[in-house]
Chain A
Amino acid sequence: DQQVKQNSPSLSVQEGRISILNCDYTNSMFDYFLWYKKYPAEGPTFLISISSIKDKNEDGRFTVFLNKSAKHLSLHIVPSQPGDSAVYFCAARRYGGSQGNLIFGKGTKLSVKP
């Protein structure tokens, strides 16, 4: 049973527009949510995180929104650039869990067209 779900396997966006990647979770016992980006043949790289006590965190072009009542988070990229084309993974950490024991979704492949 997947506790972290990314229901869209792919997303295509025009350069300069907003990209919105979505993630749903089923377990209320997560204290941190994270987004990682992965290029082909590379390991995932950390992008941005949000504590469960917040509802928004912003870092440059990247903003993560958390809606705890809906058990939903989203990553907004504005404006999207061709270099943002990658697979994006949503991940969550349990309360009291070890720091690096993260539960990942299956990923969403973002393609930003020039």
Chain B
Amino acid sequence: GAGVSQTPSNKVTEKGKYVELRCDPISGHTALYWYRQSLGQGPEFLIYFQGTGAADDSGLPNDRFFAVRPEGSVSTLKIQRTERGDSAVYLCASSLMSGGRSGELFFGEGSRLTVL
């Protein structure tokens, strides 16, 4: 597809369950980012991949959160032992590493996670 694709668009789970959220970036974009947007807040940085490696994971809130990008394209955000406070929209974005305007990220529509 032409844009960043995220699945599922909505996920409802119970407290304590494991969740995976998937992101398919724009073809050719080497950089991939995960953000989280809670109600009434702006997006909050979680992790940034350059290729297959996590170049900056300083935003992951704790060790229940983990993300992978094994082939340098699709990424999966994994949340273990979900808590009600994890409820948010999880946004994925991608970008080219060269050219373009600095900081210009292309966001997907997000995955809305609700933890009951």
The yes or no answer to A69 lying at the interface (CB within 8 A) is no
- Evaluate contact between B43 and A89: CB separation under 8 angstroms: yes
Which residues of A sit under 8 angstroms from B43, Cβ to Cβ? 44, 89, 102, 104
- List of A residues within 8 angstroms of B31 by Cβ: 99-100
Q: Give the interface size bracket for B toward A.
A: 20 to 34
- Say yes or no: B104 contacts A89, CB within 8 Å: no
Indicate if the CB atoms of B42 and A105 lie closer than 8 Å: yes
What is the distance, in angstroms, from B10's C-beta to the closest C-beta of chain A? 11
A93: chain B residues at CB < 8 Å are: 102-103
Contact B102 A100 (CB under 8 A): no
Q: Interface size of A by Cβ–Cβ distance < 8 Å?
A: 26
Whether A101 pairs with B91 at a CB distance below 8 angstroms is no
A93 to B110, CA, bound (A): 22
Report A1-33 residues with CB < 8 Å from chain B CB.
4, 6, 32
A6 and chain B: residue at smallest CB distance: B42
Q: Which residues of A contact B108 (CB under 8 A)?
A: 43
- Which chain B positions have C-beta within 8 A of A46? 101, 103-106
Chain B stretch 14-62: residues in CB contact (< 8 A) with chain A: 31, 33, 40-45, 48, 55-56, 58-59
Chain A positions near chain B (C-beta within 8 angstroms): 4, 6, 32, 34, 41-46, 49, 51, 89, 91, 93, 97-107
